[in-house]
Amino acid sequence: MENDVEQRYPMTFAVLRNAADRISNWKNVTPQAKTRKRIEITKVVVALINTL
């Protein structure tokens, strides 16, 4: 399913992947803050999947 999203929304998917990578590299940030941001990205991906 992830491939469908990537093919249908390549720019959006690239932006989300970039954001996820940047969040992973955050320094001096609590694990809870990282988790909250990952959850936000996951919600966007799920919303995109629901449009397929």
Is residue 15's pLDDT more than 80?
yes
Selected residue with higher pLDDT from 30 and 2? 30
Confidence (pTM): 0.66
Q: Is the pLDDT of residue 2 over 70?
A: no
- Predicted pLDDT at 50: 83
20: amino acid identity, one letter: A
- Asked if 3 contacts 17 with a C-beta cutoff of 8 angstroms, the reply is no
pLDDT digits (tens, 9 = 90+) for 24-52: 888 888 989 989 988 988 888 888 778 77
Number of domains observed in the structure of the chain = 1
Q: Residue 9 belongs to what domain range?
A: 2-50
